[in-house]
Amino acid sequence: MSPDPDVEPLLAGLNARLRELAGELRALVSARWQLARLEAAEAWKQFRRLAIALAASFCVVLIALGVLLVAAGDALGGTWGWPRWAWLLGGGVLLLLLAAGAAGLAWQRFRRGFVGLTESLEEVHEDLVWLREHWPGR
């Protein structure tokens, strides 16, 4: 029983197609890995900026609470002179408002700019759809 000459070119073509598909798959995985690494690095930068802004705002809140505590102590300690406690109270409230505004702006900037791994996940989904369509034997 001799091998059929029509079967060998068919298998050679299939093997070449499988090698080509494996090469494309390696390139695809490599590209997706690089994209995920870049997105993760950008997400880390955004998290770090948010953490710094929130930490600075928290420090201002702590200072403002100290100022407000001094203002309340002056007001309740029997010293009702408007100039001192009124200025201390106004300064403390102003610091609290500034800290809240800075934290709010940092949060909005973070929410507006943060993409996480959205693009990577979309690309992986598209790749899976493509593989389902082009996988041999389907």
CA 72 to CA 89: how far, in whole Å? 8
Residue 114 inside a domain? The answer is yes
Report pTM.
0.52
Residue 44 lies in a domain: yes
The answer to whether position 2 is within a domain reads no
pLDDT mean by block of 10 residues, the chain; 138 residues:
59 80 88 88 91 92 81 62 65 83 90 77 81 72
**pLDDT of res. 50:** 92
Measured CA to CA, the distance from residue 75 to residue 71 in angstroms comes to 6
Predicted local distance difference test score (pLDDT) of residue 49: 92
- What are the DSSP calls for 76-99, one per residue? HTT---HHHHHHHHHHHHHHHHHH
Asked whether residue 70 is domain-assigned, the answer is yes
Please tell me the predicted confidence (pLDDT) of residue 85.
63
Is residue 60 included in any domain, yes or no? yes
pLDDT value of position 75: 67
Question: Which pLDDT score is estimated for 84?
Answer: 65
pLDDT at 100: 92
In a domain, 33, yes or no: yes
Can you tell me the distance from the alpha carbon of 79 to that of 18, in angstroms, rounded to the nearest whole number? 88
Helix 118-134 × helix 7-76 angle, to 10°? 160
Number of domains in the chain: 1
Q: Is residue 105 assigned to a domain?
A: yes
Residue 12: what pLDDT? 74
Q: Which domain holds residue 102?
A: 7-134
